[in-house]
Amino acid sequence: MSDLPFLLLMIAVPAVGAAVVAALPRGRDQLARQVALGVSLLVLVLAVLAAVAFDTAGERFQLTSSWTWIADFGVSFALGVDGIALVMLLLIGVLVPVVIGASWQDDAAGIGDVATDKRSMKAYFAWLLLLEAMMVGVFAATDVFLFYVFFEAMLVPMYFIIGSFGGPRRQYAAVKFFLYSLVGGLIMLAAVIGLYVVSNSQLGEGTFAFDALRGLEIDPGVQKLLFLGFFIAFAIKAPLVPFHTWLPDSGSEAPIGGAVLLVGVLDKVGTFGFLRYCLPLFPDASRFFAPYVLVLAVAGILYAALLAMGQSDMKRLVAYTSISHFGFIALGIFAFTTEAATGAVLYMVNHGIATGLLFLVVGMLIARGRSRQIGDYGGVAAKAPLLAGVFLVAGLASLALPGTNSFVSEFLVLIGSFPTQPVFTILATAGIILAALYILLMYQRTMHGPPRGVLLQEDPAEPLPAGGGATATLAAPTRSLRVLDLDRRELAVVAPLVALIIVLGVYPQPLLGLIEPAVSATMSDLGGTAR
Partner 1 sequence: MIEAPDLSLAALAPLLFIFGAACVGVLVEAFWPRDTRHPVQVSVALVGTVGALVCTLLLAGSREITAGGALAVDGAGLFLQATIAGLGALSLLLFAERSLDPARSAFVTSAAVPAGSPRDRELLTSTRVQTEVYPLASFAIGGMMLFTAANDLLIMFVALEVLSLPLYLISGMARRRRLLSQEAAVKYFLLGAFASAFFLYGLALVYGATGSVRFSDIRSASLADGTDILLVLGLALLVVGLLFKASVAPFHTWTPDVYQGAPTPVTAFMAACTKVAAFGAILRLLYVAFGTAEWTWRPLVYGVAIVSMIVGAVLGLTQTDLKRMLAYSSIAHAGFLLTGVIGLGAGGEGSGLAATMFYLLAYGLTTLGAFAVLTLIRVGDGEATHLSQWAGLASRSPLVAAVMALFLLALAGIPLTAGFTGKFAVFRAAIEEGAWPLALVALLASAVAAFFYLRVIVLMYFSSPAADGPTVGVPGLPTTIVLAITATATVALGIVPGSVLDVAEQAAIFVG
Partner 2 sequence: MSETLPADGLLGLSWLLIALPLAGAAVLLLGGRRTDRWGHLLGTATVVAAFVLAVACTFQLAGLEERSAEVELFTFISTGELDVRAGLLYDPLSAVFVLLITGVGSLIHIYSIGYMAHDPARRRFFAYLNLFVAAMLLLVLGNSFVALYVGWEGVGLASYLLIAFWYTRPAAATAAKKAFIMNRVGDVGLALAIFVMFAQLGTTSYAGVFGAVGTLAGGTVTALGLLLLLGACGKSGQFPLQAWLPDAMEGPTPVSALIHAATMVTAGVYLIARCAPIYDETPTARAAVLAVGAVTLLIGAIAGCAYDDIKKVLAYSTVSQIGYMFLAVGLGPAGYVAGLAHLLAHGFFKAGLFLGAGSVMHAMNDSVDMRRFGGLWNKLPITFATFGLGYLALIGFPFLSGYFTKDAIIEAALDRGDVWGWVLGGVAVLGAGLTAFYMTRLMLMTFFGRARWEDGVHPHEAPSVMTAPMIVLAVGSVGAGFLLVSAFPLSGWLEPVFGEPEEAAHVVAPLTVGLVVTAVMALGVLAAWLFVGRREVPVTAPVRVSPVTRAARHALYADAVNESLFMRPGQWLTRALVFVDNRGVDGAVNGLAATLGGSSSRLGRAQTGFVRTYALGMLGGAVLVAGALLAVTAG
With respect to partner 2, which residue has the nearer C-beta, 142 or 322? Answer: 322
Q: Is 326 in the site for partner 2 (CB under 8 A)?
A: no
Q: Which residues contact 327 (CB under 8 A, 6 or more apart)?
A: 240, 241, 296, 297, 298, 299, 300, 301, 302, 304, 428, 431
Binding mask 331-370 for partner 2 (x = CB under 8 A): ------xxx--xx---------------------------
DSSP code of residue 245: T
With respect to partner 1, which residue has the nearer C-beta, 14 or 352? Answer: 14
Query: Which backbone phi and psi does 69 adopt, to 5 degrees?
Result: -115, -70
Long-range (24+ apart) CB contacts under 8 A made by 153-160 are: 154/266, 154/269, 155/181, 155/182, 155/185, 157/127, 157/128, 157/130, 157/131, 158/131, 158/254, 158/258, 158/261, 158/262, 158/266, 160/123, 160/127
Stretch that binds partner 1, among 12-20, 104-112, 148-156, 441-449 (CB under 8 A): 148-156
Q: Is 429 in the site for partner 2 (CB under 8 A)?
A: yes
Out of 201, 444, 473, 524, the only residue in the binding site for partner 2 (CB under 8 A) is: 444
Distance CA 185, CA 299 (A): 24
Please state the three-class secondary structure of 328-348 as a single string: HHHHHHHCCCHHHHHHHHHHH
Distance CA 107, CA 367 (A): 10
Distance CA 115, CA 286 (A): 46
Distance CA 363, CA 104 (A): 13
Stretch that binds partner 1, among 152-160, 261-269, 281-289, 429-437 (CB under 8 A): 152-160
Distance CA 179, CA 161 (A): 15
Q: Is 411 in the site for partner 2 (CB under 8 A)?
A: yes
With respect to partner 2, which residue has the nearer C-beta, 137 or 332? Answer: 332
- The CB-of-242 to partner 2 minimum distance in angstroms stands at 5
With respect to partner 2, which residue has the nearer C-beta, 121 or 401? Answer: 401
With respect to partner 2, which residue has the nearer C-beta, 124 or 407? Answer: 407
- The CB-of-525 to partner 1 minimum distance in angstroms stands at 24
Do 370 and 471 meet the contact criterion of CB atoms below 8 Å apart? yes
Nearest to 93 by CA among 34, 33, 43: 43
- The CB-of-455 to partner 1 minimum distance in angstroms stands at 30
Out of 226, 266, 381, 454, the only residue in the binding site for partner 2 (CB under 8 A) is: 381
**Residues constituting the chain:** 531
Q: Dihedral angle at the C-alpha atoms of 440, 441, 447, 452, nearest 10 degrees?
A: 170
- The CB-of-148 to partner 1 minimum distance in angstroms stands at 7
Binding-site size, partner 2 (CB under 8 A)? 59
Interface residue list for partner 2 (CB under 8 A): 241-242, 244-245, 303, 306-307, 309-311, 337-339, 342-343, 379, 381-382, 389, 396, 401-403, 407-408, 411-412, 414-416, 418-419, 422, 425-426, 429-430, 432-433, 436-437, 440-441, 444, 447-451, 506-509, 512, 515-516, 519-520, 529
**Residues lying near partner 1 in the complex (CB under 8 A):** 68-73, 118, 148-150, 152-153, 155-156, 159-160, 163-164, 170-171, 174-175, 178-179, 182-183, 186-187, 189-190, 193-194, 196-197, 200, 225
